[in-house]
Amino acid sequence: MSHIRGRFSKPADKLAARYTASLTYDRRLYQQDITGSIAHAKMLGKQGIITAEEARTIIGGLDSIREEIARGEFEFKTELEDIHMAVESRLIEKVGDVGRKLHTARSRNDQVALDTRLFVIGAIADTIKALRNFQRALLDLAEANKDVIIPGYTHLQVAQPVLLAHHLLAYFEMAERDIARLSDSFKRVDVLPLGSGALAGVANSVDREFLAKELGFSQVSRNSLDAVADRDFILEYEAGAAICMMHLSRLAEELVMWSSAEFGFVEIDDVYATGSSIMPQKKNPDVAELARGKTGRVYGHLLALLTTMKGLPLAYNRDMQEDKEGLFDTVDTLLATLEVFAGMVRTLKINPENTHQAAERGYILATDLADYLVKKGEAFRTAHESVAKLVNYAVRKGKSFSELKINEYQRFSPMFDEDVYQISVESSLAARDVSGGTSPRRVKQALARARRTVGRG
């Protein structure tokens, strides 16, 4: 705003200039901006829009600027409102007026769309890599504890016994869907906007296909208005990130519960926990708790951009500058959470005695008793009702299923016989021998399949 003032007779208000500037955060796009500018300069030279010598001079200057920034020697001047103007201004300082030709046949509108797309492409690749690492951590823990039994829950009430490995593989599947979502969204970010100009295209004979090949895009945008006004690709990444954080938050909640004295299923490694400033005995699962909290901020960035975009007429509006801080924070938050969770999961200590004891409680074999009656010829609904009454009786008597006498069982169904005492958590697991089930055989197959998917890393 303070740099491009040819149309105006007054200098920019200092407060307004600070308010509209984005250099403090979009400087992060310097790699993408310079990469795009180098490709643009090559294309201008190839097309004869500038001379080959001018193109070489501009490219040399841009390479030098990139090195300056990487070394921390570049001065980001506050009066230059964004990374595009900061790079262009320094280019002119370094190579003279020929640097002014770089912006021929482009606008900051298609330039920022390009930079942001390149950033999101990199973010997708980094996130998928981090998800694969997280999946390997889940598999390492599952394989190391493949025989551990835990109670499965619905409504946070004891439901049926499952293998811990089966439970962990549920999160593996969630991560697999996260990867699929991000991979699918890549198709829509992989579109070159450069050459769209401010909104209507450019009047020069540019070669957009050359630009696409140079920058690694598989296609060019088909509508210049849409190309500069589209932020769907950011929304898709943020939506995928929000869903992924939701998955991580669910695991975080379970780790918080499981590490409590009431559950005692796991112990979180010291490096992923903190103590209390007043209570010496405390070992708080702070990493897991923070992940739950950070999930809300990722949701917020998605909702913020949806709200920003919902009322914007075509094409570019300055409101769209608000897309970047949320995007950057979303990427940083998700990648950091995936990385720390991989480490936390790998170092979890499982307490199989506690998990097995918990799996024996709460009349967890009630469904197996109903299935037992069904196999004896009882209709399931009738069997369900009989076992429900049996549970009510056992609760009132304060007895477990194993403590009930056979005559007590037979008060609720004459089909109960001595073989009812053969029902156990182990037999319950073995009975779930269906595709996707928790039987040891099926879980072993699932672990092998998952390992083939991700490899050893």
Examine the residue annotation and report whether 276 is marked as an active-site residue of this protein.
yes
> Is a pLDDT exceeding 90 seen at residue 148?
yes
Catalytic entry in 155, 205, 277, 435: 155
DSSP class of residue 398 equals: T
CA angle, 390 then 371 then 405, to 5°? 35
CA atoms within a 13 Å half-sphere pointing along the CA-CB vector of 304: 19
Residues 431 and 439: beta-carbon distance below 8 Å: yes
Q: pLDDT, tens digit, for every residue of 24-79?
A: 999 999 999 999 999 999 999 999 999 999 999 999 999 999 999 999 999 999 88
Q: pLDDT, tens digit, for every residue of 244-278?
A: 999 999 999 999 999 999 999 999 999 998 877 77
Residue type at position 211: L
Residue-level pLDDT at 7: 61
Residue-level pLDDT at 1: 40
DSSP class of residue 403 equals: G
Buried b vs exposed e over 102-137: b needs ≥16 C-beta within 10 Å?
Answer: bbebbbbbbbbbbbbbbbbbebbeebbebbbbbbbb
- Give the chain's mean pLDDT: 95
Give the pLDDT band of residue 16 (cuts 50, 70, 90). Answer: confident
Task: Please name which of 151, 171, 154 lies closest in space to residue 163, comparing C-alpha atoms.
Answer: 151
CA angle, 219 then 206 then 39, to 5°? 70
The domains of the chain, with CATH numbers, are 14-104 (1.10.275.10), 114-151+163-357 (1.20.200.10), 361-454 (1.10.40.30)
Q: How far is 306 from 302, CA to CA, in rounded Å?
A: 6
Catalytic entry in 260, 276, 400, 402: 276
Q: How far is 390 from 368, CA to CA, in rounded Å?
A: 13
Q: What is the DSSP string of 118-132?
A: HHHHHHHHHHHHHHH
In this structure, is the dihedral angle defined by the CA atoms of residues 75, 80, 85 and 89, taken in order, positive or negative? negative
- Of all residues in the chain, the percent with pLDDT exceeding 90 is 91
Q: How far is 63 from 308, CA to CA, in rounded Å?
A: 35
> Is a pLDDT exceeding 60 seen at residue 2?
no
Residue with tokens 């949320």: 326
Rounded to the nearest 10 degrees, how much is the dihedral formed by the CA atoms of 62, 67, 70, 74?
Answer: -70
Residue-level pLDDT at 231: 98
Average pLDDT of the residues in 76-87: 93
Residues 298 and 330: beta-carbon distance below 8 Å: yes
In this structure, is the dihedral angle defined by the CA atoms of residues 97, 98, 103 and 105, taken in order, positive or negative? positive
Q: pLDDT, tens digit, for every residue of 180-196?
A: 999 999 999 999 999 99
Q: pLDDT, tens digit, for every residue of 354-388?
A: 999 999 888 999 999 999 999 999 999 999 999 99
Examine the residue annotation and report whether 155 is marked as an active-site residue of this protein.
yes
- Of all residues in the chain, the percent with pLDDT exceeding 70 is 97
Residue-level pLDDT at 128: 98
For 128-251, where are the E strands, in sequence order?
A: 149-154, 157-163, 191-192, 219-220
What is the pTM for the complete model shown? 0.94
Q: pLDDT, tens digit, for every residue of 433-454?
A: 999 999 999 999 999 999 999 9
In this structure, is the dihedral angle defined by the CA atoms of residues 158, 163, 165 and 167, taken in order, positive or negative? negative
